[in-house]
Amino acid sequence: VLAAGLGVGRAALPEEIAAWDKDIAPDGTGLPVGSGSVEYGEEIFSETCASCHGEFAEGVDNWPTLSGGFGTLDREDPVKTVGSYWPYLSTTYDYIRRSMPFGGAQTLSDDDVYAMVAYILYSNDLVDDDFVLSNENFLEVEMPNAGGFIVDDRVVTEYPHFTSETACYEDCKDTVEITMRAAVLDVTPIEDTPEPVIEATQ
Amino acid sequence: MTDKRIKTKQTHPPSRRAFLRGAAATGAGLAASAASAQTAPDPLITEVQDWASGTGDGVDATPYGLPIEFESDVIRRNVAWLTADTISSINFTPIHALDGTITPQGCAFERHHSGAIELSKSDYRLMIHGLVDTPLVFTYADLERFPRINKTFFLECAANTGMEWAGAQLNGAQFTHGMIHNMEYSGVSLRSLLSEAGLSAAGDFKDKWVYVEGADASSNGRSIPLEKALDDVMIAFKANGEALRKEHGYPVRLVVPGWEGNMWVKWLRRIEITDQAIESREETSKYTDTLEDGTARKWTWVMDAKSVVTSPSPQAPITHGKGPLVITGLAWSGRGAITGVDVTIDGGKTWQKARLAAPGQPMALTRFYLDIDWDGSEMYLQSRAHDDTGYVQPTKTQLREVRGLNSVYHNNCIQTWWVKKNGEAENVEVS
């Protein structure tokens, strides 16, 4: 227990806490009462989200893909979506309600968000088209990659191997060959770097 | 404004670049060592220059100044193709052109998820609630009444060097290593604010969390173990002596020493003590590190020991020819203080110990130098950081052996610059 404070600040009112405390934990703590259907979700997704995320949540241009990508996480370019990657459905509800749509955040009703989440589940083939998501059945939805995360294990898998004790200073390798060059890709927006002096000017 | 610029130009006619060209044209160049003789008198010496005759600007010309125009290339840069738009995006600190350790705020990198918002001190509110004895609301003025601390720390984006996982891609230290800044923060310990709310309601601290979020639309909510929060986390309202810049969280941001930049929540508005991690978007979808087998690490908070040679580098080529050369760079570790930096000029065949400009400070940037006599031959420049836990910065090959190519975040590998005979440098990978 920490020592008593300075008496600075004032008590937060319940209405104030309710207005800002919107986070939802994986066990459903924080979920509001409400529900929404895939059918209604499709309608509002099309109006509010599809211009960036695509009609089927497949993503437009560089904007995030929300659906698909199953079975790609161990491939060269994994497609990490709500369906293929996100471990908890709570995050989807929480994030959409608080931060989407991009540029018009916190404009959706709680029921709208349930419908939106239901549609994203449908676009990932995780529920049928007649599905209705609510605070009652929220935790029954199984997220495919729920078991796909491990807590930071660098202390075991890396730190014992990356140690000063074995750092080499002399005769560390025989040859050094260039294996990759950034200039070949040429994707750097450099303008106006100073010109090096060529040998002849000396 | 326009008039002032014209006036300035008239007062100081030769730009630095023109000066370099002019010097080279005399035949001596800046390559001149003690041995090379000046064949003709230098007009910059023999002729009275305007600045030595007329007058400069009055003290009322610049109430708050910007760098002189000759330094106009020392700026943040954006790489358009990296993100879908510039609102949820990143820019880069010009570390290739800086020295010392303190990052000027005006060119210190930015990373926003819904843009840099404008939040006045009078509109600012900070709420502490959850498993506390008394949930509280603070105004900005309240925060200034708590006992103050000053500490210097680096903030490195978890994605710094992330574009380099698969190979050498961006050609410059600014782009490969510039998602970083280092500032002296003034503020209040989070511990003293939590103490004000009272933590007897939290019970055992070991399994409790602090969920923090910003006032912006993205919120950037993150979960932090209560033990870290009570250890060294700060609420900062000044950086490098003055108020935080708008883009760095004005008027209040979180400072989380040694931990990935995403957790340094800007425009901080809410702190909730919880009995579980919230597993928010920024700690599930993002800031999780996918391994080769498709599983992903989560809660990879600490930024491991890392370093980079900032000069010479692709944006800072050698322009003076053979002879004395200053190799310099930055080293840092989220696990403690830098104890040493090794530098190789032959791609890792042999290494020598660089000189630290000052003893390494915990979780802050450290400047290193290696002064060599360059014979004009090619170099493969690398630096290797050591921290006080005994950790040594790994090669990219070593990291890839553990993680594969898709981790996105936490790339602290050794960087190679290929310095060519003409002084140009290029980002490469070597065997």
Q: Which residues contact B301 (CB under 8 A, 6 or more apart)?
A: A152, B228, B259, B260, B263
CATH number at B201 reads 3.90.420.10
Question: How would residue A198 be classed by pLDDT, with cut points 50, 70 and 90?
Answer: very low
Residues 6+ apart with CB under 8 A from B423: A196, A197, A198, B312, B317, B318, B319, B320, B321
Helix (H, G, I), strand (E, B) or coil at A77: coil
| Residue A155 contacts B, CB cutoff 8 Å | no
Specify the amino acid at residue B232.
Answer: D
Q: Which residue has the higher pLDDT, A193 or B234?
A: B234
Question: Does B265 lie in the same domain as B142?
Answer: yes
CB-neighbour burial class of residue A192 (10 A; exposed 0-12, middle 13-18, buried 19+): exposed
CA gap B153, B184 in Å, rounded:
7
Q: What is the mean pLDDT of chain A?
A: 92
Residues 114-143 of A with CB under 8 A from B: none
- Co-location of B229 and B170 in the same domain: yes
Tell me if B47 is assigned to some domain: no
Question: B1 vs A107, which has greater pLDDT?
Answer: A107
Gap between the Cα atoms of B186 and B201, Å rounded = 29
Same domain, B151 and B276: yes
Please check whether residues B176 and B277 belong to one and the same domain: yes
DSSP track, B85-132: SSSSEEEE--TTT--SSPPPGGGS--EESS------TTT-EEEEEESS
Q: Which residues of B113-128 are buried (b: 16+ CB within 10 A; e: fewer)?
A: bbbbbebeeeebbbbb
Task: Examine the domain organization and report whether B124 and B261 are in the same domain.
Answer: yes
- Asked whether the beta carbons of residue A162 and residue B280 sit closer than 8 angstroms, the reply is no
Same domain membership, residue B356 and residue B313: yes
In this structure, are B386 and B288 located in the same domain? no
Of B272, B297, B322, the one marking the end of a domain is: B297
Count the helices and strands in chain A (H runs, E runs). Answer: 7, 5
Please give the pLDDT value at position A195: 55
Q: Please give the residue range of the domain that contains residue B162.
A: 105-297
SS (H, E, C) A110-174: HHHHHHHHHHHHHHCCCCCCCCEEECCCHHHCCCCCCCCEEECCHHHHCCCCCEHHHCCCCCCCC
Residue B155: Cβ within 10 Å count = 31
CB B38 within 8 A of CB B28: yes
**Is residue B116 situated within a structural domain?**
yes
With CA atoms as reference, the chain B residue closest to A85 would be B285
**Under a CB-based contact definition with an 8 Å cutoff, are residues A82 and A149 in contact?**
no
Q: Is residue B164 part of a domain?
A: yes
Of B280, B315, B418, the CB nearest to A23: B280
Strand partners, B426: B418
At position A59, the amino acid (one-letter code) is G
pLDDT higher at A198 or A58? A58
Find the CB nearest B428 among A1, A171, A180.
A180
**Residue-wise pLDDT tens digits, A128-162:** 999 999 999 999 999 999 999 999 999 999 999 99
Picking from B287, B218, B271, B216, the residue whose alpha carbon sits closest to that of residue B249 is B216
Q: Which chain B residues contact residue A152 at CB under 8 A?
A: 297-302
For helices A110-123 and A89-99, give the axis angle rounded to 10 degrees.
130
The average pLDDT across A97-113 equals 96
Distance between CA atoms of B14 and A118, rounded to whole angstroms? Answer: 66
Task: Identify the closest residue of chain B to A52 by CA–CA distance.
Answer: B84
Q: Is residue B397 located within the same domain as residue B332?
A: yes
Residue B22 counted as domain residue: no
Residue among A21, A74, A196 whose CB faces B423 most closely: A196
B62 located within any domain: no
Indicate whether B98 belongs to any domain: no
Interchain contact, B391 vs A20, CB within 8 Å: no
In which residue ranges of chain B is pLDDT below 50? 1-32
Sign of CA dihedral B17, B18, B23, B24: positive
pLDDT of residue A188: 85
Residue among B272, B307, B328, B347 nearest B160 (CA): B307
Query: A15 at the B interface (CB within 8 A)?
Result: no
Structural domain includes residue B29: no
The residues facing B92 across adjacent strands are B77
Residue B270 sits in the same domain as residue B322:
no
**Domain end: B239, B269, B297, which one?**
B297
Contact list, A20 vs chain B (CB under 8 Å): 127, 269-270
Q: What residues contact A13, with CB distance under 8 A and at least 6 apart?
A: none
For the domain that residue B361 is a member of, what is the CATH number?
2.60.40.650
Number of structural domains, chain B? 2
Q: Please list the residues that pair with B130 across neighbouring strands.
A: B273
ipTM confidence: 0.92
Q: What CA–CA distance (Å, rounded) separates B370 from B311?
A: 11
Of B245, B275, B297, which marks where a domain is finished? B297
Q: How many CA atoms lie within 13 A of A66 on its CB side?
A: 25
Does A43 contact B at CB distance below 8 Å?
no
Residue B373 is assigned to a structural domain of this protein: yes
Kindly list the residues from chain B whose CB atom is less than 8 angstroms away from the CB atom of residue A76. 405-406
Same domain? B291 vs B331: no
Both B333 and B272 in one domain: the answer is no
Which residue's entry shows tokens 């459903």? A28
A192 touches chain B (CB under 8 A): yes
Residue B169 and residue A187: Cβ atoms within 8 Å? yes
Task: Say if CB B90 and CB B176 are below 8 A apart.
Answer: no
B285 lies in the same domain as B310: no
Q: State the Cα–Cα distance between residues B336 and B98, nearest whole angstrom.
A: 23
